[in-house]
Structure formats: structure tokens, C-alpha cells
């Protein structure tokens, strides 16, 4: 274990903005040398930051920076950037594979050029960067590879909505699984780090809208967790799939409120992809996934559920929620239902509410029942594409608390 990263050379892919840049700034405070490797040399029309603006921030924070134009899909560019890093700083101590592409599309809507982009950046890029940095990492007295990738969770739910993206992201994690053992002989620590909750970055805001910020944490939580991992002894810390919150808590940091974008929502944060709440978690396991059809005895679960909800309605519940929900259900029990928790003592029914809905939630009827049964949180359903929301996102995600209140009564 080292006390800090002063003088260490860290090559970070995708470091012009977001999590990559935030990790760079944390290391820069120690006086680290940062290779800012990313494609963005010219300002993006919708996203802030370039490799040059990031380099200026790194140097202002106390580090040394080398901005390098890099497309991790280009083998010649990768070799050139690695050589530039070695020529400038004398070697490479740490590689952070952060560059990634995302497309949350089901198989029919995934164009092969998007499939190729994700696999070439996420999986192939991580493999190539690790391969080319290896000779220099072998010479370092404190060598780490850290992939910003998730734990390998084989629950089918994490595949079914966006199998191409999951495969590409898990490819990065499989590099950890294999390389940590392969490189153990060289004393190189190879680990993965992933957020427990959604992380608010400009790229994520472009994908999901500005309202998602309230239910997210700042990228600084990933930066602080990465710092704690990278200051550990690489010979003793390898082959781990770290979760940011767990790393901080192990280090004695228990108050995570400062990391919330909006502290008022610190207890309503959306979980990130690939992290279940418990074994089996949010989705069916492999041994049961083959039998997805509802049995005859389960038919009519949605009307039964609304009837039970109706028995639980009261003025106090209406006062605490203050929202009208329109549910558009698909699948085995397709139809429209509403839940009025804004007027009188509450009301439910089939069809549309008499007052305008604050938000409309569209999902498969099976997922709808799972939400009220406590097996699936609305935030997790939204993040994984199982739930589509139109209207007031903040009121829609109030359903998390509503679920808890109703579940005890159902």
C-alpha cells in the first residue's frame, strides 16, 4: 500500500469528462502524472470538455498532464499513446480502462454498427490497452489495472433488455477475471470498480434527462473509491469486483450524503445497472427463466392487486403522495389503469383518471406486479428499461416509498 499517488503515471481512457476526468483530478491532487487519453480534441456540440481542457484542470489541481488523442479501437493509436506516455513520464504505473460506449436497445433495434462500436470500445479496447501497457506495468513497483466495469451477474434480467450492451460491458469484466490471474506473477493488481447507484454525468443527462440528477450521485464517489483501490498493495489486491459504496464504507466513510447530487433525495437514489439488491434479486434466476408464462391460477393478478390497493387507500396516503398515476400495461394483462392519490381519499380504476395524470408509466404487467410485490423497485425498473415514464419523473419515483407502504397492507 502507498500513502498517495505522487509521481505515479496513470493512463486513463475516456478522461476528457465524466468519471474518467474526476478520477484524474483526484489523483492529480497528489501530484500524479495523468495521460488524458480520449477522442475529444474538439468541443462536442452537446457535451463539455476536451482532452486539453481536462489537462488544464489536472495541472491546476497539482498534477502533470499529457493530453493524447485516442480511439481505443485503433491499434496504431493505442501504441502511439502508450509510447508517448513512456517518453514523457518514463513509464506507466496504472491503467484505468474507463472508455465505454452504451446503447440500451433490445436485439431487433440494435444496429450492427452500434453492436460493433460497443464491443470494439468496451471489450476489445480494454483488452488492447491492457496488452500494450503490460510491458511497462511489469516494470512498475506499484502496478494496477482498474476497469470501470460491473460485477459478473448472470441474472437473465440484466441481459434481456439490452443483450448487446451487457455482453460488451461484461467483456471488460471478463478481462479482470482472466488477467488478474494471468498477471499475478508480475505483481500487477487487476480489479473492476462499479457504482451502486446512478452517477450523474453530462453524458447520462443527455441520455436520461436532467431530472435524473436528483436520483444520482456525483462522479466524485467513483473517484474517491478508485483512489482507495489504487493506493492498495497490488500484490494483495487483485481479482476484485469492487462497488464504490462498499469501498468507502470499508475505509470508514459512512456518511455518503455529500456525494448525492441533491441531498434531499439521498434515500431515493436509483440503483445502477448490474447490481441486484440480493441474490436472485430483481429478476428471475436461470433455473426459472425458461418458464415465463403465467400459470392459469395466476391469471387476473392485476385486477386483484388494484382491488387490494383500493382497500388501503385513505386520506393520509393521499396527503403524503399527492400524485395521479396512469399505468399502461402490456403483455399477458394488457390494459390501462389509474391510481389517484391526489384527490379525496384516493381512487383507482380501469381506464383513465378523471383528472390529468402527473405521470404515465408503461411496463409489462408481470413487472407491474413485481413492483407492488416488492421484487422490483421502480428506480431499478426505470434504469433497466423495464419501465418507461412520461411526465413528472420525480413523482413517478415516489412510487418507491408508496410500494413500501402498500406492501405491508397487501
Q: pLDDT tens string for the chain (410 positions)?
A: 788 999 999 999 999 999 999 999 999 999 999 999 999 999 887 788 899 999 999 999 999 999 999 999 999 999 999 999 999 999 999 999 999 999 988 899 999 999 999 999 999 999 999 999 999 999 999 999 999 999 999 988 889 889 999 999 999 999 999 999 999 999 999 999 999 999 998 666 655 556 668 889 999 999 999 999 999 999 999 999 999 999 999 999 999 999 999 999 898 888 888 987 643 333 333 333 333 333 333 446 788 888 888 888 888 888 888 899 999 999 889 999 999 999 999 999 999 999 999 999 999 988 888 777 666 777 667 766 788 888 887 777 677 666 666 655 55
pTM: 0.75
pLDDT value at residue 396: 77
| Candidate list 165, 227, 325, 348, residue with the active-site label | 165
70: left (phi over 0), alpha (psi -120 to 50) or beta: beta
CATH superfamily of 293-407: SCP2 sterol-binding domain (3.30.1050.10)
Closest CA to 20 of 62, 67, 78: 67
Spacing of C-alpha 409 from chain mean position: 33
For 336, the grid coordinates are: 390501462
Query: Where do the domains of the chain lie?
Result: 9-265, 293-407
Sole residue written with cell 445497472: 273
pLDDT value at residue 406: 62
**The domain 9-265: what is its CATH number?**
3.40.50.720
pLDDT value at residue 384: 66
For 333, the grid coordinates are: 394483462
With beta carbons less than 8 A apart as the criterion, state whether 12 and 24 touch: yes
Closest CA to 81 of 136, 150, 42, 17: 136
For residues 169 and 22, give the distance between their C-alpha atoms in angstroms, rounded to a whole number: 21
Sole residue written with cell 403465467: 294
For residues 188 and 182, give the distance between their C-alpha atoms in angstroms, rounded to a whole number: 9
pLDDT value at residue 374: 67
pLDDT value at residue 209: 55
With beta carbons less than 8 A apart as the criterion, state whether 198 and 214 touch: no
- How many other C-beta atoms are found inside a 10 Å radius of the C-beta of residue 43? 12
Q: Is 165 a catalytic residue?
A: yes
pLDDT value at residue 270: 84
In whole angstroms, how far apart are CA 68 and each of 27, 82, 139, 328, 390?
18, 10, 22, 49, 41
For 174, the grid coordinates are: 471478463
Q: How many CA atoms lie within 13 A of 239 on its CB side?
A: 10
pLDDT value at residue 392: 80
Amino acid at each position: 500500500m502507498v500513502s498517495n499517488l505522487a509521481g505515479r503515471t496513470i493512463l486513463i481512457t475516456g478522461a476528457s469528462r465524466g468519471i474518467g476526468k474526476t478520477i484524474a483530478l483526484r489523483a492529480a491532487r497528489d501530484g500524479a502524472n495523468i495521460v488524458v487519453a480520449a477522442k475529444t480534441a474538439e468541443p462536442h456540440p452537446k457535451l463539455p470538455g476536451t482532452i486539453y481542457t481536462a489537462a488544464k484542470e489536472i495541472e491546476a489541481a497539482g498534477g502533470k498532464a499529457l493530453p493524447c488523442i485516442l480511439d481505443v479501437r485503433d491499434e496504431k493509436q493505442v501504441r502511439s499513446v502508450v509510447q508517448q506516455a513512456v517518453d514523457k513520464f518514463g513509464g506507466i504505473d496504472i491503467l484505468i480502462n474507463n472508455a465505454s460506449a452504451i446503447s440500451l436497445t433490445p436485439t431487433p433495434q440494435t444496429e450492427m454498427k452500434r453492436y460493433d462500436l460497443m464491443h470494439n470500445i468496451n471489450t476489445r479496447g480494454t483488452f488492447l490497452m491492457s496488452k500494450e501497457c503490460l510491458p511497462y506495468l511489469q516494470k512498475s513497483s506499484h502496478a494496477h489495472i482498474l476497469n470501470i466495469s460491473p460485477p459478473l451477474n448472470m441474472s437473465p434480467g440484466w441481459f434481456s433488455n439490452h443483450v448487446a450492451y451487457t455482453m460488451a460491458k461484461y467483456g471488460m469484466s471478463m478481462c479482470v477475471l482472466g488477467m488478474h490471474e494471468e498477471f499475478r506473477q508480475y505483481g500487477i493488481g487487476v480489479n473492476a470498480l462499479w457504482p451502486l447507484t446512478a452517477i450523474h454525468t453530462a453524458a447520462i443527462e443527455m441520455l436520461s434527462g436532467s431530472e435524473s440528477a436528483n436520483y444520482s450521485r456525483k462522479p466524485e464517489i467513483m473517484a474517491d473509491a478508485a483512489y482507495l483501490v489504487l493506493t492498495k498493495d497490488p500484490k494483495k489486491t487483485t481479482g476484485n469486483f469492487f462497488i464504490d459504496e462498499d469501498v468507502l464504507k470499508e475505509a470508514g466513510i459512512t456518511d455518503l450524503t455529500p456525494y448525492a447530487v441533491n441531498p434531499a433525495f439521498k434515500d431515493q437514489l436509483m440503483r445502477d445497472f448490474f447490481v441486484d439488491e440480493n441474490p436472485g434479486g430483481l429478476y428471475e434466476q436461470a433455473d426459472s427463466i425458461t418458464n415465463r408464462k403465467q400459470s392459469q391460477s395466476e391469471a387476473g393478478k392485476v385486477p386483484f392487486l388494484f382491488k387490494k390497493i383500493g382497500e388501503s387507500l385513505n386520506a393520509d396516503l393521499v396527503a403524503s403522495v399527492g400524485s395521479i398515476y396512469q399505468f399502461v400495461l402490456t403483455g399477458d394483462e394488457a390494459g390501462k389503469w389509474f391510481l389517484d392519490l391526489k384527490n379525496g381519499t384516493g381512487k383507482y380504476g380501469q381506464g383513465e383518471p378523471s383528472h390529468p395524470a402527473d405521470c404515465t408509466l408503461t411496463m409489462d404487467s408481470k413487472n407491474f406486479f413485481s413492483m407492488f410485490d416488492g421484487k422490483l423497485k421502480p428506480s431499478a425498473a426505470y434504469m433497466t428499461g423495464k419501465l418507461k415514464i412520461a411526465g413528472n419523473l420525480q413523482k413517478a419515483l415516489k412510487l418507491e416509498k408508496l410500494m413500501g407502504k402498500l406492501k405491508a397492507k397487501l
